[in-house]
């Protein structure tokens, strides 16, 4: 017995746990034990774990008030445990800061109490945890509070990807607390060309998630990444539809399957929310739909159907017994002129065609559909800021927006913590369609949402033993497996005259990096910064570190994908339209080969100048110094080898630096130690390019956003072409069963 919950053993059934302060008792029937969540003294169907998740969910949904269902349809904003004293996601305790209140790190904030009790929210997005133990205790506090509420519905906590090894995270995967094992993410996993490894990742990650109290993964991201300039390219499985589908299937099977259960669901299961239906990888000009200036996806190649394949042939057709991804998230973007039935150009969750006609009816998807975060409410001022993403329906009221989404067949609102607009949408729907229709529609969503909690056993035992959780999360075995996978994700593109591997202890020079002032993910200004790409203490475990190229035997130059800004409000103020090219090269790039006018347009704030074209405009990379570091190091090394190590979140133009590099390693986010082990030969590179590396920006600019493999790949001085599937080991170009199976489709 714990201080916070009581554990009850069932000889022929699941383990039960409840809070002694919640009012829940144990009912015994037929020699079995059940939780009296409704506190009636009778065994109700939803409390009977012998029944199917479908039967239990239908019974419970019929008992819920409209207000309770509205709470189920909400998804909390990002929660940090403990909350930050300042910032976008603050938290207080009795109106005071944590320090002033003397609160524990795991205590529930005022804001959390409100949305759990007053707004009936039962789906919570957790980001950063101070520690595994804190996460487990916070989970228990929330579960005890919710168990005491009418009908005792548990919390279903979710997380964005938290196993990535990269040090650079964006908002949609904030935080990596909880000390999980570290694995390749997105393109890094695809670079292994090994779906079985992806499946194993899912198995490990699901155990760590459940030990943190997380039962839903807001992943995998399976958009077909056909536009190489797209900001979120690196989070996907790439542009090969079959490889992406295989990875999606493996990922979902790994997360959702509890071994030994007939239907696959159980205590180790984590619901996978595959995103973003029906694919967000065709963003015009590579701009991103988090922002009004990037709201449009375009299909100049008429290739819409191929973007569905990671879903229809992957996430919807699992090899394991759970059958399909438990949830789907549509993307923010407006898929320009792709609604052939209703002719709407609206964001995907607002689109009757994309959700109701395609997802629900044509493909028969009956799982949860959840909007991406923050798509309802006022548009905001202008197109520059990080505002509500109500693309195409800016003219609708917030309540009308909610009703339109609900009637499309969407079940849940990501990032919405207030029940009021959902309840008002219900009332508006009753006037428009009748109360019977609206009650049926709300119960339909409630059943889908509740099934995902029943399947994972949350109604029987949502509690955690913090000491046991600490043994699972970041265990030595899991960390070793993750690290081995990282090593398998590093690609060697060039190894002139066998420059690699290096001898351990050789003298190396590593230039510091510089990034100019730029706008961050949330469009907040970031100051210029200088920094060492790898801690000197780590370098010294492998090499003798010197301070100048002249002293060194080898130069190690670390770079990342060029950082450019697609939109500048100052240009708009000066008479332009604000739009600039997204560049994959370091030197200033002028878009002389861009299309004359944008394909898509139509923002309420751009009525006078709706064209989003940028032909002839010049953009400058904030990290142009990366290229200078390569060229300067090569010049000063006096013919001695220079090794370039690049971290990519999307493709890059190698032509600017390849001839100045004797060896090139590329990765998509690994721990620095993994790079060191490859450099000195402790591990042999085995990964393959899951993307094309373009010859120049002209071929990038003239590519069709919706078509894969339509750039001309770069060929280096050794005759190697950096095309999809290319990679080298110590013996040369890799040719094996992976390259035979996954061939370029064009």
Residue-wise pLDDT tens digits, 197-224 = 999 999 999 999 999 999 999 999 999 9
| pLDDT given for residue 170 in this prediction | 33
The pLDDT value given to residue 2: 42
Structural domain tally of the chain? 3
391 lies in the same domain as 463: yes
- In this structure, of 17-21, 81-85, 357-361, the range with the lowest mean pLDDT score is 81-85
**CATH number for the domain harbouring residue 531:** 3.40.50.1700
Joined tokens for residue 457: 């056993």
Q: CB count, 10 Å around CB of 197? A: 21
Residues 6+ apart with CB under 8 A from 607: none
237 shares its domain with 309: yes
Mean pLDDT of 285-301: 97
DSSP string, 673-730: HHHHHHHTTSS------SS--BS-HHHHHTS-TT-TT-SPBPB-TTS-B--TT--EET
The pLDDT value given to residue 177: 47
Residue 74 pairs in a beta bridge with 413
87-101, 119-133, 283-297, 680-694, range with the lowest pLDDT: 87-101
Average pLDDT of 147-169?
87
Confidence label for 729 from pLDDT (cuts 50, 70 and 90): very high
Give per-residue pLDDT as tens, 62-76. Answer: 999 999 999 999 999
Cβ atoms of residues 80 and 128 within 8 Å: yes
- 19 is a domain residue: no
Averaged pLDDT of the chain: 95
Q: What is the 3-state secondary structure (H, E, C) of 370-418?
A: ECCCCCCCCCCCCCCCCCCCCCCCCCCCHHHHHHHHHHHCCCEECCCCC
Give 397's contacts (C-beta < 8 A, 6+ positions apart): none
| 446 inside domain | yes
Cα-based torsion angle of the residue sequence 463, 468, 470, 471 in order, rounded to the nearest 10 degrees: -150
Q: Are residues 444 and 525 in the same domain?
A: no
Q: Which residue has the tokens 């889908």?
A: 448
pLDDT at res. 684: 98
Report if residue 722 sits inside a domain.
Answer: yes
- Angle at CA 375, nearest 5°, toward 371 and 381? 170
DSSP tag of 504: T
Task: Please spell the DSSP secondary structure of 241-290, one letter per residue.
Answer: HHHHHHHHHHHHHHHH--TT-TTS-STT--EEEEEEET----BGGG--TT
Residue 179 has what pLDDT? 82
Residues 225 and 247 both lie in one domain? yes
Whether residues 372 and 494 share a domain: the answer is no
For 394, the token pair is 């800016």
Within this chain, do residues 329 and 402 fall inside the same structural domain, yes or no? yes
pLDDT, position 178: 54
Range of the domain at 292: 71-159+193-472
Report how far residue 387's alpha carbon sits from residue 375's, in angstroms, rounded to the nearest whole number.
Answer: 9
Same structural domain for residues 280 and 356? yes
> Does residue 638 belong to any structural domain of this protein?
yes
Scored b (16 or more CB within 10 A) or e, 327-366 reads: bbbbbbbbbbebbeeeebbbbbbbbbbbbbbbbbeebebe
pLDDT given for residue 165 in this prediction: 86
Percent of the chain with pLDDT strictly greater than 90: 93
Residue 168 in this model has a pLDDT that exceeds 50:
no
Tell me, yes or no, whether 435 and 530 share the same domain: no
Strands 525-526 and 554-560: unpaired
pLDDT at 175: 37
**pLDDT at 1 (0 to 100):** 32
746 pLDDT above the threshold of 80: no
Instruction: Please give the structure tokens belonging to residue 234.
Output: 């690196």
pLDDT reading at 169 higher than 50: no
Q: What is the CATH number of the domain that holds 423?
A: 3.20.20.300
pLDDT at 703 over 70: yes
pLDDT, one tens digit per residue, over 489-545 is: 999 999 999 999 999 999 999 999 999 999 998 888 999 999 999 999 999 999 999
Distances in Å between the alpha carbon of 108 and those of 105, 112, 154?
Answer: 9, 6, 15
Task: Note whether 367 and 443 are same-domain residues.
Answer: yes
Cβ atoms < 10 Å from Cβ of 179: 17
Q: What pLDDT score does 3 carry?
A: 56
Give mean pLDDT, residues 102-120. Answer: 96
In a domain? residue 32: no
Q: Are residue 639 and residue 607 in the same domain, yes or no?
A: no
- The answer to whether residue 23 is domain-embedded is no
User: Of the residues 604, 621, 638, which one is the last residue of a structural domain?
Assistant: 621
* pLDDT, tens digit (0-9, with 9 covering 90-100), for 537-592: 999 999 999 999 999 999 999 999 999 999 999 999 999 999 999 999 999 999 99
State whether 233 and 375 are in the same domain: yes
Same structural domain for residues 230 and 368? yes
**pLDDT of amino acid 167:** 43
- Domain membership of residue 371 (yes or no) is yes
Residue 425, H or E segment: helix 420-433
State how far the Cα of 573 lies from the Cα of 568, in Å rounded to an integer.
9
Q: Are 112 and 121 in contact (CB under 8 A)?
A: no
**What pLDDT digit, counting tens, does each position of 440-493 carry?**
999 999 999 999 999 999 999 999 999 999 999 999 999 999 999 999 999 999
User: In this structure, is residue 481 part of a structural domain?
Assistant: no
The answer, yes or no, to whether residue 174 has pLDDT greater than 50, is no
């Amino acid at each position: 017995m714990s201080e916070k919950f009581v554990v009850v053993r069932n000889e022929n059934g699941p383990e039960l746990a409840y809070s002694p302060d919640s009012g829940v008792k144990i009912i015994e029937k037929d020699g079995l034990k059940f939780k009296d969540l409704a506190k009636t003294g009778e065994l109700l169907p939803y409390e009977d774990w012998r029944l199917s998740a479908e039967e239990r969910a239908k019974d419970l949904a019929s008992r819920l008030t409209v207000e309770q269902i509205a709470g189920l349809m909400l998804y909390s904003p990002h929660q940090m445990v403990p909350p930050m004293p300042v910032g976008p996601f603050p938290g207080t305790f009795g109106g005071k800061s944590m320090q002033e209140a003397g609160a524990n790190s795991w205590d529930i904030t005022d804001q959390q109490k409100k949305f759990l009790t007053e707004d009936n929210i039962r789906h919570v997005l957790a980001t950063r945890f101070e520690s595994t133990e804190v996460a487990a205790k916070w989970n228990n506090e929330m579960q005890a509070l919710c168990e005491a509420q009418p009908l005792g519905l548990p919390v279903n906590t979710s997380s964005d990807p938290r196993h990535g090894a990269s040090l650079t995270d964006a908002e949609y995967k904030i935080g990596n607390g909880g000390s999980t094992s570290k694995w390749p993410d997105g393109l890094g996993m695809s670079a292994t060309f090994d779906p079985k490894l992806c499946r194993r990742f899912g198995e490990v990650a699901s155990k760590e998630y459940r030990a943190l109290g997380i039962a839903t993964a807001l992943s995998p991201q399976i958009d077909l990444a056909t536009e190489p300039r797209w900001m979120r390219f690196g989070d996907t499985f790439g542009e090969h539809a079959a490889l992406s589908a295989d990875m999606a299937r493996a990922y979902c099977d790994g997360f959702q399957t509890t071994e030994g259960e007939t239907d696959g669901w159980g205590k180790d299961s984590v619901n996978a929310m595959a995103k973003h239906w029906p694919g967000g990888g065709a963003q015009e000009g590579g701009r991103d739909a988090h922002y009004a200036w990037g709201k449009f996806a375009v299909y100049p190649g008429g290739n819409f159907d191929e973007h569905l394949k990671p879903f229809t042939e992957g996430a919807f057709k699992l090899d394991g017994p759970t059958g399909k991804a438990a949830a789907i998230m549509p993307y923010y973007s407006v898929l320009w002129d792709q609604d052939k039935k209703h002719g709407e150009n609206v964001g995907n969750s607002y689109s009757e065609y994309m959700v109701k006609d395609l997802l629900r009816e044509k493909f028969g998807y009956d799982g949860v559909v959840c909007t991406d975060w923050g798509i309802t409410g006022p548009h905001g001022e202008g197109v520059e800021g990080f505002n509500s993403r109500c693309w195409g329906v800016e003219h609708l009221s917030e309540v009308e927006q909610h009703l339109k989404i609900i009637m499309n067949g969407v079940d849940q609102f990501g990032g919405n913590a207030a029940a009021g607009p959902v309840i008002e949408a219900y009332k508006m729907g009753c006037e428009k369609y009748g109360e019977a229709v609206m009650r049926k529609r709300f119960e339909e969503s409630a059943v889908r949402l509740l099934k995902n909690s029943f399947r994972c056993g949350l109604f029987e035992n949502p509690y955690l033993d913090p000491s046991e959780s600490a043994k699972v999360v970041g265990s030595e075995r899991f960390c070793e497996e993750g690290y081995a996978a990282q090593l398998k994700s590093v690609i060697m593109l060039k190894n002139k005259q066998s420059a690699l591997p290096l001898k351990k202890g050789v003298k190396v020079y590593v230039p510091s990096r510089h990034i100019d002032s730029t706008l961050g993910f949330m469009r907040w200004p970031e100051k210029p910064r200088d920094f060492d790409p790898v801690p000197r203490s780590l370098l010294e475990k492998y090499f003798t570190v010197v301070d100048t190229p002249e002293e060194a035997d080898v130069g190690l130059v670390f770079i990342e994908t060029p950082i450019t800004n697609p939109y500048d409000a100052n240009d708009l103020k000066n008479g332009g339209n604000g739009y600039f090219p997204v560049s994959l090269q370091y030197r200033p790039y002028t878009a002389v080969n861009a299309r004359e006018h944008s394909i898509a347009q139509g923002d309420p704030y751009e009525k006078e100048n709706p064209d989003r074209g940028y032909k002839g405009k010049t953009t400058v990379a904030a990290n142009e110094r990366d290229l200078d570091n390569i060229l300067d190091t090569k010049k000063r090394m006096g013919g001695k080898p220079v090794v370039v190590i690049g971290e990519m979140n999307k493709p890059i133009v190698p032509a600017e630096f390849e001839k100045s590099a004797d060896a090139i390693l590329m990765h998509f986010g690994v721990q620095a130690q993994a790079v060191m082990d490859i450099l000195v030969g402790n591990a042999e590179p085995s990964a393959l390019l899951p993307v094309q590396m373009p010859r120049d920006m002209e071929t990038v600019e003239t590519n069709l956003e919706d078509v894969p493999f339509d750039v001309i790949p770069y060929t280096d001085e050794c005759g190697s072409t950096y095309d999809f599937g290319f990679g080298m080991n110590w013996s040369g170009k890799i040719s094996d069963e992976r390259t035979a199976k996954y061939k370029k489709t064009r």
